[in-house]
Structure 1
Amino acid sequence: MAVSPLDLLDVDDLLTDDERDVRELARRIAADRVRPHIADWYERGEVPVRDLAREFGKLGFLGMHLTGYGCAGATAVQYGLVCMELEAADSGVRSLVSVQGSLAMYAIWKFGSEEQKQRWLPGMAAGDLIGCFGLTEPDHGSDPANMATRARRDGDDWVLRGGKMWITNAPLADVAVIWARTDEGVTGFAVPATTPGFSVREVRKKLSLRASATGEITLDDVRLPDSARLPLARGLKAPLSCLTEARFGIVWGALGAARDCLETAIAYATSREQFGRPIAGFQLTQAKLADMALELQKGYLLALHLGRRGDSAGLRPEQVSVGKLNNVREAIKIARQCRTILGGNGISGEYPVLRHANNLESVLTYEGTSEIHQLVIGQKLTGLNAFGG
């Protein structure tokens, strides 16, 4: 009897009833609200961000691993399972949730004042307010320490000047968490999108993550009161800790894309006949499927281990780097291999495989490229810093 890829090792037995319930909730909303429309959203390069955010907010998916202020207070494993199910539908949809909760909301929750938390977090948790996270710049992606965006004191105010690029949710954001260099070091600000001098140009003609709103932010002498500054964010470690939060969701999310590709390839291979029998009955096809299922299982066990450790003892950045490096790298290999099984049909929008593969090209790069994660791991193994070398 055939089994689904993640049933091969009965890994479901490693989950609690509550974890399975949360996963099924995410799977249902993805099936009902995303899957029937995602191919069209992707082709048009448009996605109803606000509608989805409100629906996810009602289910407690936004900032779900945070506590208080309307957040669900879920476990790391529960959050990871939601990311996996949403990305099984589309990486762009999971990115909406990750950026909202693990970057924008987490930054305010972790480093903001009580006033900032009360002002922004309940609305963001409900999906009524959209947030974005402005760290990456046109000329500074992997090297945020040298960002060009500056914030200078002007009396009791701050004045921000610079720009941010490839910012998910920016075109619709109500608040942007912006990181800038100051005389005291890197500092974060919660910037209302209506502030004079703050503008966003939507990035169009993308070939990846098309079901996601991406923008370029321009800060033209944006004047803010000191109350907009995140008071507990001191130095570059603050935004980097936010990236660690987001990377954890990617560790799980990439598995969802890979699983969807593999399930699609198996279903296709068992029904597609060549030379008088299903192509799933040929040895070369079964070898491909076996190798992909093996990597999917290993990635899932790695993600679950990281989730359990995150819930019990917390995670170090290099541990999350191990998860992102392995799981995204293997997911994109699985997507590409599944495309070969589908042959010419693999490039059709009627199947999700090439869409997942294209999306994973972005996932491979954002929140730290594979090379950056290799260097993070290498530094931990050797004690030597090879960045910039």
Structure 2
Amino acid sequence: MSPLRAVLILSLLLGIQPVTTDLYLPALPAIATAFTVSVGETQTTLSALLLAFGASQLIWGAVSDRFGRRPVLLVGLGGYVLAAVACALAPSMPVLILARILQGIALGASVMCARAIVRDLYEPVAGARTLSQALSGLGVLACLSAPLGALIVEGFGWRAALGTTAVFGAATWWAVWRGFDESLTERDPLALAPRRLLSTWRGILAHPVFWRFSLLGAASFAGLFVLLAASSFIFMQVLGLSRPAYGLLLLLNSLAYITGTLLCRRLLRRRSVETTVAIAGGVSLTGGLGLAALGELGVTSVAGLMVPICLYAVAHGLNQPCSQSGAVAPFPRSAGVASALSGFVMMLAAFAAGGWLATQMDGSVLPLTRGMAVCSMLVATAAWLRLPATRAPTGPLRGVPADHSPSTTEESP
């Protein structure tokens, strides 16, 4: 594949996640009204999807190392389309939650494979730069998703918004079918063998580089999840914004995220990954603590709240390319499993944030401001904390067969 085609395919595979989550955010209040359920129950449609999304990657990763990325993508995206149609036709809240869980399971194949493809094709630093380009594409899709979702809900109802995700899934399936060349050059015939799989998991989970970058990405995404899960109720019901105005706020947030991915690319040309991550930690902490201060002071100005929220989004755009590529960098021959474990950690953090948030919604802005502040402190801790070892070992990874060991220089982020 040409570099341009690779970036476009990666943008679609990664961008399906914000399409799945952001497009229907303006519909959450309408769903709550339609099924006569509480805010917390409605948010379950998001947190359950993300938990299923994270857990499914543990299986998809090993399957993709065994059979390749392309067949996993085609099966996963096909299942995604069917689940999205079920969401749009759901007759009750329990059915909608179940359909969203199935949609999350299928979504895991797309995003997990995208991170593994980056490791298949690029060395770590080049991978971070390429991933920042693809995540800029994700940001563009996120920019369009919330305003488009608001317009669709306003004109056609919440079912149409969920149905639109099926259309995007079908378009992505077609793009993979027509434009994606298999990136995995050496399939592992033993990848699904229980003993080998457990051994590979142990080796990856024992590696400090994996934990450093996985926790960084998880903390940053948890803060974004708090914003996604709480913002529609807080900005529309508490602060009185219309759906189109709320969609524009999410558009602004996505533009801030794109700015972060562009800055990441520029920084990586001149600075190390460590320096880039350290800068991102400072920006994230500034945004989170600033937001917390406004909340505790009782500030409810939409413009005032959006300034620190956008700062956090810029930091998220800086963090994600480095964290997602850094977590899989030491594992070139087990990139699928490493990507899956990293994605699972990220979604577990988001699910925990969602569970906490469901108990805190009190009709004020405090759940949003406090939740994002705590996540920003965790981001800064992961960004600035130096672990005992951050380079790949010179010998085989503990628990990973010798023929799956990385080199000591190329595989270190």
- The alignment's TM-score, normalised by the length of structure 1, stands at 0.30
Relative contact order, CA 8 A, sep 6+: which one is greater? 2
- The alignment's TM-score, normalised by the length of structure 2, stands at 0.29
Which structure shows the higher helix fraction?
A: 2
Which structure shows the higher strand fraction?
A: 1
